[in-house]
Protein backbone atom coordinates (compact mmCIF):
# COMPACT_ATOMS: atom_id res chain seq x y z
CA UNK A 1 0.00 0.00 0.00
CA UNK A 2 2.83 2.40 0.87
CA UNK A 3 4.43 2.41 -2.64
CA UNK A 4 1.09 3.37 -4.18
CA UNK A 5 0.64 6.22 -1.72
CA UNK A 6 4.08 7.47 -2.67
CA UNK A 7 3.19 7.15 -6.38
CA UNK A 8 0.05 9.21 -5.87
CA UNK A 9 2.00 11.81 -3.93
CA UNK A 10 4.73 12.08 -6.58
CA UNK A 11 2.21 12.14 -9.44
CA UNK A 12 0.18 14.86 -7.74
CA UNK A 13 3.31 16.96 -7.22
CA UNK A 14 4.31 16.46 -10.84
CA UNK A 15 0.91 17.24 -12.38
CA UNK A 16 0.52 20.33 -10.18
CA UNK A 17 3.91 21.59 -11.34
CA UNK A 18 2.99 20.78 -14.95
CA UNK A 19 -0.27 22.75 -14.85
CA UNK A 20 1.44 25.72 -13.20
CA UNK A 21 4.37 25.65 -15.64
CA UNK A 22 2.22 25.33 -18.76
CA UNK A 23 -0.13 28.04 -17.49
CA UNK A 24 2.72 30.45 -16.79
CA UNK A 25 4.43 29.84 -20.14
CA UNK A 26 1.14 30.13 -22.06
CA UNK A 27 0.29 33.41 -20.27
CA UNK A 28 3.68 34.88 -21.19
CA UNK A 29 3.25 33.73 -24.81
CA UNK A 30 -0.23 35.29 -25.08
CA UNK A 31 0.92 38.59 -23.58
CA UNK A 32 3.86 38.83 -26.00
CA UNK A 33 1.67 37.93 -28.98
CA UNK A 34 -1.00 40.45 -27.92
CA UNK A 35 1.58 43.23 -27.69
CA UNK A 36 2.83 42.29 -31.14
CA UNK A 37 -0.63 42.28 -32.78
CA UNK A 38 -2.38 44.97 -30.72
CA UNK A 39 -1.77 47.72 -33.27
CA UNK A 40 -3.27 45.56 -36.00
CA UNK A 41 -6.37 44.83 -33.91
CA UNK A 42 -6.85 48.53 -33.14
CA UNK A 43 -6.21 49.70 -36.71
CA UNK A 44 -8.80 47.25 -38.06
CA UNK A 45 -11.28 48.07 -35.24
CA UNK A 46 -11.58 44.40 -34.33
CA UNK A 47 -14.31 43.86 -31.69
CA UNK A 48 -13.14 42.82 -28.24
CA UNK A 49 -15.11 39.57 -28.42
CA UNK A 50 -13.29 38.61 -31.64
CA UNK A 51 -9.92 39.32 -30.01
CA UNK A 52 -10.89 37.05 -27.13
CA UNK A 53 -12.02 34.38 -29.60
CA UNK A 54 -8.74 34.71 -31.47
CA UNK A 55 -6.68 33.96 -28.36
CA UNK A 56 -8.99 31.15 -27.31
CA UNK A 57 -8.34 29.35 -30.60
CA UNK A 58 -4.65 30.26 -30.42
CA UNK A 59 -4.21 28.40 -27.12
CA UNK A 60 -4.17 24.87 -28.65
CA UNK A 61 -1.24 25.72 -30.93
CA UNK A 62 0.53 27.32 -27.95
CA UNK A 63 0.03 24.18 -25.89
CA UNK A 64 1.36 22.06 -28.75
CA UNK A 65 4.62 23.99 -28.67
CA UNK A 66 4.94 24.38 -24.91
CA UNK A 67 3.95 20.95 -23.62
CA UNK A 68 7.38 19.26 -24.01
CA UNK A 69 9.09 22.23 -22.36
CA UNK A 70 6.46 22.27 -19.63
CA UNK A 71 6.94 18.53 -19.03
CA UNK A 72 10.68 19.04 -18.81
CA UNK A 73 10.47 21.91 -16.35
CA UNK A 74 7.80 20.15 -14.28
CA UNK A 75 9.99 17.03 -14.00
CA UNK A 76 13.05 19.04 -13.01
CA UNK A 77 11.19 21.17 -10.47
CA UNK A 78 9.29 18.26 -8.94
CA UNK A 79 12.26 15.91 -8.61
CA UNK A 80 14.53 18.78 -7.59
CA UNK A 81 12.13 19.75 -4.80
CA UNK A 82 11.83 16.15 -3.61
CA UNK A 83 15.58 15.78 -3.70
CA UNK A 84 16.12 19.09 -1.90
CA UNK A 85 13.77 17.95 0.88
CA UNK A 86 15.66 14.64 1.12
CA UNK A 87 12.48 12.79 0.14
CA UNK A 88 14.24 10.94 -2.69
CA UNK A 89 16.90 9.87 -0.19
CA UNK A 90 14.22 8.47 2.10
CA UNK A 91 12.61 6.60 -0.81
CA UNK A 92 15.90 5.03 -1.81
CA UNK A 93 16.70 4.14 1.78
CA UNK A 94 13.47 2.16 1.86
CA UNK A 95 14.75 0.08 -1.06
CA UNK A 96 13.06 1.91 -3.94
CA UNK A 97 15.06 1.76 -7.18
CA UNK A 98 15.47 4.68 -9.57
CA UNK A 99 13.22 3.02 -12.13
CA UNK A 100 10.51 2.45 -9.50
CA UNK A 101 10.79 6.11 -8.53
CA UNK A 102 10.43 7.09 -12.21
CA UNK A 103 7.35 4.92 -12.74
CA UNK A 104 4.71 7.61 -11.88
CA UNK A 105 6.45 10.04 -14.22
CA UNK A 106 6.65 7.46 -17.01
CA UNK A 107 2.97 6.52 -16.67
CA UNK A 108 1.89 10.18 -16.66
CA UNK A 109 4.12 11.03 -19.62
CA UNK A 110 2.88 8.03 -21.64
CA UNK A 111 -0.78 8.96 -21.11
CA UNK A 112 -0.07 12.61 -21.90
CA UNK A 113 1.83 11.66 -25.07
CA UNK A 114 -1.00 9.42 -26.26
CA UNK A 115 -3.50 12.21 -25.71
CA UNK A 116 -1.14 14.68 -27.34
CA UNK A 117 -1.12 12.70 -30.59
CA UNK A 118 -4.87 13.26 -30.93
CA UNK A 119 -4.68 16.83 -29.60
CA UNK A 120 -1.92 17.89 -32.02
CA UNK A 121 -3.30 15.92 -34.94
CA UNK A 122 -6.97 16.85 -34.78
CA UNK A 123 -7.77 19.55 -32.17
CA UNK A 124 -4.99 21.98 -33.11
CA UNK A 125 -5.80 22.01 -36.87
CA UNK A 126 -9.47 22.81 -36.16
CA UNK A 127 -8.42 25.68 -33.92
CA UNK A 128 -5.94 26.86 -36.57
CA UNK A 129 -8.71 26.91 -39.18
CA UNK A 130 -10.75 29.29 -37.01
CA UNK A 131 -7.64 31.40 -36.28
CA UNK A 132 -6.84 31.79 -39.97
CA UNK A 133 -10.48 32.67 -40.64
CA UNK A 134 -10.29 35.52 -38.11
CA UNK A 135 -6.99 36.72 -39.56
CA UNK A 136 -8.39 36.76 -43.10
CA UNK A 137 -11.66 38.42 -42.10
CA UNK A 138 -10.41 41.05 -39.66
CA UNK A 139 -6.65 41.45 -40.23
CA UNK A 140 -6.51 41.27 -44.05
CA UNK A 141 -4.19 38.29 -43.80
CA UNK A 142 -3.56 35.86 -46.66
CA UNK A 143 -2.73 33.01 -44.30
CA UNK A 144 -4.60 29.79 -44.75
CA UNK A 145 -5.09 29.74 -48.49
CA UNK A 146 -3.61 30.26 -51.95
CA UNK A 147 -5.30 30.54 -55.36
CA UNK A 148 -5.45 27.31 -57.33
CA UNK A 149 -3.74 27.98 -60.65
CA UNK A 150 -1.98 25.67 -63.10
CA UNK A 151 -2.85 22.34 -61.50
CA UNK A 152 -1.41 19.15 -62.96
CA UNK A 153 -2.42 15.65 -61.91
CA UNK A 154 -1.43 12.16 -62.91
CA UNK A 155 -4.85 10.88 -62.02
CA UNK A 156 -3.92 7.28 -62.80
CA UNK A 157 -0.67 6.05 -64.36
CA UNK A 158 -2.03 6.47 -67.91
CA UNK A 159 -4.10 9.65 -67.44
CA UNK A 160 -2.87 13.21 -67.04
CA UNK A 161 -5.15 16.13 -66.19
CA UNK A 162 -4.27 19.83 -66.34
CA UNK A 163 -6.45 22.63 -64.96
CA UNK A 164 -5.64 26.27 -65.57
CA UNK A 165 -7.72 27.61 -62.64
CA UNK A 166 -10.02 26.07 -60.04
CA UNK A 167 -12.89 28.05 -58.50
CA UNK A 168 -13.55 26.30 -55.17
CA UNK A 169 -16.79 28.18 -54.46
CA UNK A 170 -18.36 27.24 -57.79
CA UNK A 171 -16.69 23.80 -57.86
CA UNK A 172 -15.57 24.69 -61.34
CA UNK A 173 -12.35 23.89 -63.21
CA UNK A 174 -11.40 26.20 -66.07
CA UNK A 175 -9.49 25.30 -69.25
CA UNK A 176 -9.27 21.57 -68.66
CA UNK A 177 -7.17 19.16 -70.71
CA UNK A 178 -7.29 15.40 -70.12
CA UNK A 179 -4.85 13.09 -71.87
CA UNK A 180 -5.04 9.31 -71.74
CA UNK A 181 -2.17 7.14 -72.92
CA UNK A 182 -2.15 3.64 -74.37
CA UNK A 183 1.12 2.33 -72.89
CA UNK A 184 3.31 3.27 -69.95
CA UNK A 185 6.53 2.05 -71.61
CA UNK A 186 5.95 3.72 -74.97
CA UNK A 187 3.26 6.31 -74.26
CA UNK A 188 1.07 7.47 -77.10
CA UNK A 189 -2.04 9.55 -76.64
CA UNK A 190 -5.12 7.36 -77.10
CA UNK A 191 -7.74 9.91 -76.04
CA UNK A 192 -7.87 13.58 -75.19
CA UNK A 193 -10.61 15.80 -73.82
CA UNK A 194 -10.50 19.59 -73.84
CA UNK A 195 -13.11 21.78 -72.19
CA UNK A 196 -13.39 25.40 -71.11
CA UNK A 197 -15.18 24.30 -67.94
CA UNK A 198 -15.58 21.14 -65.87
CA UNK A 199 -17.74 21.15 -62.73
CA UNK A 200 -18.19 18.81 -59.77
CA UNK A 201 -21.73 17.35 -59.74
CA UNK A 202 -22.66 16.63 -56.11
CA UNK A 203 -25.63 14.49 -57.14
CA UNK A 204 -23.69 12.19 -59.44
CA UNK A 205 -20.48 12.64 -57.37
CA UNK A 206 -18.60 12.95 -60.64
CA UNK A 207 -16.97 15.55 -62.86
CA UNK A 208 -19.14 16.88 -65.67
CA UNK A 209 -17.98 18.67 -68.81
CA UNK A 210 -20.51 21.31 -69.81
CA UNK A 211 -19.14 21.63 -73.31
CA UNK A 212 -16.02 20.09 -74.74
CA UNK A 213 -14.31 18.06 -77.41
CA UNK A 214 -13.17 14.45 -77.19
CA UNK A 215 -10.61 13.08 -79.61
CA UNK A 216 -9.91 9.36 -79.89
CA UNK A 217 -6.78 8.34 -81.76
CA UNK A 218 -6.77 5.16 -83.88
CA UNK A 219 -3.36 4.85 -85.44
CA UNK A 220 -3.19 7.65 -87.99
CA UNK A 221 -6.86 8.54 -87.76
CA UNK A 222 -8.69 10.69 -85.24
CA UNK A 223 -12.37 10.65 -84.39
CA UNK A 224 -13.79 13.85 -82.92
CA UNK A 225 -16.87 14.01 -80.69
CA UNK A 226 -18.55 17.07 -79.19
CA UNK A 227 -19.39 16.68 -75.50
CA UNK A 228 -22.31 18.30 -73.70
CA UNK A 229 -23.10 17.70 -70.05
CA UNK A 230 -20.97 14.53 -70.09
CA UNK A 231 -19.25 12.85 -67.14
CA UNK A 232 -15.51 12.31 -67.46
CA UNK A 233 -13.03 9.98 -65.81
CA UNK A 234 -11.17 11.91 -63.12
CA UNK A 235 -10.86 10.22 -59.73
CA UNK A 236 -9.68 13.20 -57.66
CA UNK A 237 -12.66 14.72 -55.83
CA UNK A 238 -13.62 18.36 -55.34
CA UNK A 239 -12.77 18.27 -51.61
CA UNK A 240 -9.30 16.89 -52.38
CA UNK A 241 -8.57 19.77 -54.76
CA UNK A 242 -9.88 22.31 -52.23
CA UNK A 243 -7.45 20.97 -49.65
CA UNK A 244 -4.61 22.10 -51.88
CA UNK A 245 -5.81 25.66 -51.22
CA UNK A 246 -5.82 25.32 -47.46
CA UNK A 247 -2.86 25.95 -45.22
CA UNK A 248 -1.42 22.58 -44.15
CA UNK A 249 -1.67 23.74 -40.52
CA UNK A 250 -5.47 23.53 -40.94
CA UNK A 251 -5.42 19.88 -41.97
CA UNK A 252 -5.81 17.11 -39.42
CA UNK A 253 -3.67 14.00 -39.84
CA UNK A 254 -6.32 12.13 -41.82
CA UNK A 255 -6.78 15.07 -44.19
CA UNK A 256 -3.00 15.50 -44.46
CA UNK A 257 -2.61 11.90 -45.64
CA UNK A 258 -5.27 12.48 -48.29
CA UNK A 259 -3.62 15.78 -49.20
CA UNK A 260 -0.26 14.06 -49.76
CA UNK A 261 -1.89 11.46 -51.97
CA UNK A 262 -3.46 14.23 -54.07
CA UNK A 263 -0.10 16.00 -54.32
CA UNK A 264 1.59 12.79 -55.46
CA UNK A 265 -1.06 12.34 -58.13
CA UNK A 266 -0.27 15.86 -59.22
CA UNK A 267 3.33 14.85 -59.82
CA UNK A 268 4.65 16.76 -56.80
CA UNK A 269 7.63 15.64 -54.71
CA UNK A 270 6.10 15.12 -51.26
CA UNK A 271 9.20 13.78 -49.49
CA UNK A 272 9.51 16.74 -47.08
CA UNK A 273 5.77 16.77 -46.36
CA UNK A 274 5.81 13.04 -45.65
CA UNK A 275 8.64 13.47 -43.14
CA UNK A 276 6.69 16.28 -41.49
CA UNK A 277 3.54 14.11 -41.45
CA UNK A 278 5.25 11.27 -39.59
CA UNK A 279 6.95 13.87 -37.41
CA UNK A 280 3.48 14.90 -36.20
CA UNK A 281 3.19 11.43 -34.67
CA UNK A 282 6.75 11.49 -33.31
CA UNK A 283 6.78 14.95 -31.71
CA UNK A 284 4.19 14.27 -28.94
CA UNK A 285 6.47 11.54 -27.56
CA UNK A 286 9.01 14.22 -26.66
CA UNK A 287 7.04 14.45 -23.40
CA UNK A 288 8.04 10.88 -22.53
CA UNK A 289 11.62 11.39 -23.69
CA UNK A 290 12.18 14.38 -21.41
CA UNK A 291 11.11 12.26 -18.45
CA UNK A 292 13.81 9.72 -19.25
CA UNK A 293 16.39 12.50 -19.40
CA UNK A 294 15.23 14.88 -16.68
CA UNK A 295 14.18 12.62 -13.79
CA UNK A 296 17.52 10.78 -13.34
CA UNK A 297 19.45 14.04 -13.65
CA UNK A 298 17.31 15.90 -11.13
CA UNK A 299 17.23 12.96 -8.67
CA UNK A 300 20.82 13.74 -7.70
CA UNK A 301 21.24 16.86 -5.58
CA UNK A 302 23.30 19.52 -7.32
CA UNK A 303 24.67 22.91 -6.46
CA UNK A 304 23.00 25.84 -8.13
CA UNK A 305 19.41 24.78 -7.48
CA UNK A 306 16.73 26.04 -9.85
CA UNK A 307 19.19 27.89 -12.10
CA UNK A 308 20.84 24.59 -13.03
CA UNK A 309 17.46 23.01 -13.86
CA UNK A 310 16.36 25.91 -16.04
CA UNK A 311 19.69 25.88 -17.90
CA UNK A 312 19.37 22.13 -18.43
CA UNK A 313 15.80 22.50 -19.67
CA UNK A 314 16.85 25.11 -22.22
CA UNK A 315 19.79 22.97 -23.33
CA UNK A 316 17.75 19.78 -23.80
CA UNK A 317 14.84 21.56 -25.52
CA UNK A 318 17.17 23.50 -27.80
CA UNK A 319 19.14 20.38 -28.71
CA UNK A 320 15.98 18.37 -29.44
CA UNK A 321 14.37 21.05 -31.62
CA UNK A 322 17.61 21.90 -33.46
CA UNK A 323 18.42 18.25 -34.16
CA UNK A 324 14.85 17.58 -35.30
CA UNK A 325 14.95 20.46 -37.80
CA UNK A 326 18.40 19.46 -39.08
CA UNK A 327 17.48 15.80 -39.53
CA UNK A 328 14.15 16.59 -41.21
CA UNK A 329 15.86 18.98 -43.65
CA UNK A 330 18.74 16.62 -44.40
CA UNK A 331 16.48 13.56 -44.45
CA UNK A 332 14.70 14.85 -47.55
CA UNK A 333 17.77 13.74 -49.55
CA UNK A 334 18.32 10.41 -47.77
CA UNK A 335 17.23 7.02 -49.05
CA UNK A 336 15.80 6.08 -45.65
CA UNK A 337 12.00 5.79 -45.31
CA UNK A 338 10.23 8.99 -44.24
CA UNK A 339 9.01 7.25 -41.07
CA UNK A 340 12.59 6.41 -40.05
CA UNK A 341 13.76 9.98 -40.60
CA UNK A 342 10.85 11.42 -38.59
CA UNK A 343 11.43 9.09 -35.63
CA UNK A 344 15.25 9.06 -35.69
CA UNK A 345 15.73 11.99 -33.28
CA UNK A 346 13.33 10.40 -30.79
CA UNK A 347 15.31 7.16 -30.95
CA UNK A 348 18.58 9.03 -30.31
CA UNK A 349 17.17 10.84 -27.27
CA UNK A 350 15.59 7.65 -25.91
CA UNK A 351 19.02 5.99 -26.04
CA UNK A 352 20.54 9.03 -24.32
CA UNK A 353 17.85 8.86 -21.65
CA UNK A 354 18.39 5.13 -21.06
CA UNK A 355 22.13 5.80 -20.80
CA UNK A 356 21.53 8.51 -18.18
CA UNK A 357 19.25 6.15 -16.20
CA UNK A 358 21.86 3.39 -16.22
CA UNK A 359 24.68 5.71 -15.17
CA UNK A 360 22.75 7.43 -12.38
CA UNK A 361 23.48 6.19 -8.88
CA UNK A 362 20.64 4.13 -7.47
What is the reported pLDDT for 175?
A: 94
Q: What is the pLDDT of residues 13-49, one digit of tens each?
A: 999 999 999 999 999 999 999 999 888 888 888 999 9
Query: What's the CA dihedral at 164, 167, 170, 174 to 10 degrees?
Result: -10
d(CA 75, CA 66): 14
- The pLDDT assigned to 361 comes to 63
What confidence tens digit (pLDDT) does each residue in 71-94 have?
988 988 888 888 777 777 777 777
Q: If DSSP codes are grouped into helix, strand and coil, which group holds residue 222?
A: strand
pLDDT at position 337 is 93
Give yes or no for residue 143 having a pLDDT over 60: no
Q: What is the per-residue pLDDT for 81?
A: 83
Q: Which of 91, 17, 75 is nearest to 353 (CA)?
A: 75
The predicted pLDDT at position 3 comes to 67
- The pLDDT of residue 302 is 63
Would you call 212 helix, strand, or coil by DSSP? Answer: strand
Distance of CA 146 to the CA centre of its chain: 19
Rounded to 5°, angle at Cα 305 from 301 and 311: 110
pLDDT in tens, 149-206: 888 888 888 889 999 999 888 899 999 999 998 876 777 889 999 999 999 999 889 9
Q: When comparing pLDDT for 247 and 309, which is higher? A: 247
Amino acid sequence: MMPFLIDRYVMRQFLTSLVFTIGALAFIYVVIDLLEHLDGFLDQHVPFTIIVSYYVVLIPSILKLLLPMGMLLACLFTVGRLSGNNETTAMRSSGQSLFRFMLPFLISATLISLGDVYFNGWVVPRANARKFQIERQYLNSTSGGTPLYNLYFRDVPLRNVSINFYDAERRSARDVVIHEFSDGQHPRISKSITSPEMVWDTVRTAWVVRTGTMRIFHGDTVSVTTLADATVDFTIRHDQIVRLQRNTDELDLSETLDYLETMRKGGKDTRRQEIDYFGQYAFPWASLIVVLVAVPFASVRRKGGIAVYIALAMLIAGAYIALTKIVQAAGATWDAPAEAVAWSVNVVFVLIGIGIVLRTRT
